[in-house]
Structure 1
Amino acid sequence: MRTALKLVLLLALAGAVVAGAAAWWLHRPMGTGPGGPALELSIEPGTTPRGVAQAVALAGAQVSPDLLAWWFRLSGQDRRLRAGSYEITAEMSPRQLLRMLVRGEESLRTITLVEGWNWRQVRQALAKADQLRAETSGLDDAELMARLGRPGQSPEGRFYPDTYSYGKGSSDLAVLARALKAMDRQQQLAWDARQSGLPLQSPQEVLILASIIEKETGQGADRPLISAVFHNRLRIGMRLQTDPTVIYGLGESFDGNLRRIHLTTDTPWNTYTRAGLPPTPIAMPGKAALMAAVQPASSRALYFVAKGDGSSHFSESLDEHNRAVNRYQRGR
């Protein structure tokens, strides 16, 4: 009887020791090697729990992959581990690691597409983005848009300016797909909110006009008035005569100095030589520019000129406009 009691006590003691050791191990920082740098962990879709444990060890974490795989299985959450890009810190314990993998708390990078950027600037930003896989680098514009499901469509202005998060090794095409869908949503919201009687025939024309408003606006409060000027001109068949469209048509040859000869050099985007809207947007408009395009201010103005402080002066007549040009541009 005494022998049986001793055996029970020994087993209980051994169990307590094992439980204590397990608890200590689960809460103990794994460590990330000399100097303790953060480690990057990439888990591909379909990786088994044991494969995840091995990937953690191969990434440099000071932990037994066998023990880690045992912990994943014992927790009952081994089938809930998510693929993705993660960061393992020197202070992270096996328990914290499991929580991060189950929640899918990825280590993300970001890329910001800025309002008013043209397509060339977007491609440059994608090429410079940290840890973003350049799937589009060998594609021309037509091939790229076909891959995005928009064959025959120009990429200019089609991507919504915003900050997008992505995991290490994500495709730049996937980021563009998200930005494309975001612009689709904002463009449709603007189209649905349009005033009646506007001289715009489609959501695409909204996007084109919004891109011009975006490039012409120095102060946000002026957007509805700038929109009104363009709508008033479109209604009476007056050319838009807006410098940003001319500059866009010049492309990379533009040196930053707009000359009179540029205004008379015809391109599809020169709104001094051609009536109506240009064939494509000239930049990425933001939400405010999109809404201004469909909700112009109530104004009879046909002209505006920059005042030098970011705002514009609006005029209903050419005489008034010329006086404003002399005042604000020529200092007379």
Structure 2
Amino acid sequence: MMSRRGCVLAAVLAAAVLLGFASLLNGWFGSGPLAKDQDFIVPNGASLSVVADRLEEKGIIRSSRGFALRARVFGGGGGIKAGEFRIPAHASASKVLSIISSENVIRRFVTVPEGMPSIMVQERLMAVPQLTGEVAIPDEGSVLPDSYAFENGEPRQTVLRRMQAAMNRTLKELWAERAPDLIVKTPEQALILASIVEKETGKPEERRMVAGLYSNRLKKGMLLQADPTIIYPITKGKRLGRRILQSEIQAMNDYNTYTMVGLPKHPITNPSGASIEAVLHPADTDALYMVADGTGGHVFASTLEQHNANVAKWFAIRRARGEL
């Protein structure tokens, strides 16, 4: 039989084991030291011990060694993912490991709306504080409007390259499936005309009709007379904020389609894939003219007489609104 002293010693040892285990559990499942929600980045290829050190530096856990030990005991000690994660205030060590082992990576996006000119793309990239480095104004028409995911600390130039690669890929795919007998003979010409369609389209459903109209004018050797091509050399695609001056209408440059036959030398904005597709599959129409209809869209005409009547209606609408 065990002596009384032996029983006491066994009880003490058992209590110590229980206390140690309880401490181990509390250190794993108990409330953490983080005072408020914080974003945390797990670098690519980082080991558990390296991540644990960073967690301790950020005040997310109390002890990197204790975290690594408990992770191996309770969490398998592996499976952490690279990326940026949101750690809630007072998250337990167990919760922290669960988060950085999950697919709940923070997704950050920068959006280029349809028809945003390149000067504003550059301004938008520079305004994102999570991105790094400088970026120049990209070539007009080189960026595909869309939303692009990025990582915290990623270079702006890297994000821009993704935008431009998306445009190159989209233009190549759409050009390969173009309709026959188009007035545009190269992908570059399609991009230029699509940029005009983008700027002149009042409603998305009008894209193919506007593309058909401008294709008809090009085929006939008519001036395109697209107002946005007058504005582009003045503002680089930004809003003019006033009426176009007569001197600007008469200006001779590489963009003004009121004084030059054919397409501008370069795109006047970054067109959407939908506008490129419209140019490559224009509506079968005999329309040569269009004017605003008062609803955000246009009314189309095939003769100058019809067009003048439509213009008269538009001016009547504007007078009724008190705009004239």
TM > 0.5 fold call: yes
What is the aligned counterpart of 1:206 among 173, 190, 194?
190
Partner of 1:271: 257
Which residue in 2 is equivalent to 1:177? 161
* Cα distance change of structure 1 residues 187 and 5 upon mapping to structure 2, 3 Å threshold: farther
Give 1:274 deviation, angstroms: 1.7
Task: Indicate if the aligned counterparts of 1:194 and 1:294 stay in contact, CA closer than 8 A.
Answer: yes
Distance in 2 separating the partners of 1:10 and 1:166: 56
Shift, 1:170, TM fit: 1.6
The one-character-per-residue Cα deviations of 1:181-235 (angstroms, maximum 9, x if unpaired) are 2222322232133211111222222222211111101111211110110111122
> Identity percentage over the alignment?
30
Q: Of 148, 157, 164, which residue of structure 1 is paired with 2:141? A: 157
The equivalent of 2:230 in structure 1 is: 246
1:65 corresponds in structure 2 to 64
TM-score by length of 1: 0.84
> CA separation in 2, counterparts of 1:91 and 1:201?
63
Correspondence list, 1:192-231, <5 A = 192-231=176-215
| Aligned match for 2:294, one of 308, 322, 329 | 308
Deviations 1:11-47 (A, max 9, x none): 7776555445434432323131xxx311232343454
Q: Which has the larger radius of gyration?
A: 2
Kindly state the Cα deviation for residue 9 of structure 1 after the two structures are TM-superposed.
8.1
Report 1:48-59 matches (<5 A).
48-59=47-58
Number of aligned residue pairs: give it: 313
Determine the C-alpha separation between the residues in 1 that align with 2:96 and 2:295.
53
User: Could you tell me how far apart the structure 1 residues matched to 2:99 and 2:33 are?
Assistant: 16
Q: 1:280 — aligned with what?
A: 266
Q: CA deviation at 1:161?
A: 1.4
- Quote the Cα distance in structure 2 between the aligned partners of 1:327 and 1:126: 43
d(CA) in 2 for partners of 1:240, 1:220: 20
- State whether residues 77 and 102 of structure 1, in contact with CA within 8 Å, keep that contact through their aligned partners in structure 2: no
Q: CA RMSD in A?
A: 2.7
- Report the CA distance shift for 1:91/1:187 in structure 2 as closer, same or farther (over 3 A): farther
Equivalent position SS for 1:268: coil
Please list every run of 5 or more consecutive structure 1 residues that lacks an aligned counterpart in the other structure: 142-153
Residue matched to 1:94 = 93
Instruction: Give the aligned residue type for 1:107.
Output: I
Q: Displacement, 1:57? A: 1.4
Give the structure 2 partner of residue 327 of structure 1.
313
Cα shift at 1:306 = 1.0
Helix, strand or coil: the match of 2:183? coil
Q: Deviations over 1:117-164 (max 9, x none)?
A: 10111111112113221332xxx44xxxxxxxxxxxx62121121222
Secondary structure in structure 1 of the residue aligned to 2:101: helix
| Corresponding residue for residue 144 of structure 1 | none
Using the alignment, how far apart are the partners of 1:264 and 1:91 within structure 2? 67
1:121 corresponding residue in structure 2: 120
**Mapped contact 2:289–2:301 kept (Cα < 8 A):** yes
Query: Contact 2:126 / 2:134 at 8 angstroms: preserved in 1?
Result: no
Contact 1:83 1:104 in 2 (8 A): no
The CA deviation at 1:108 is 3.6
What residue is the counterpart of 1:291 in the other structure? 277
* Structure 2 portions without partners, runs of 5+: 320-324
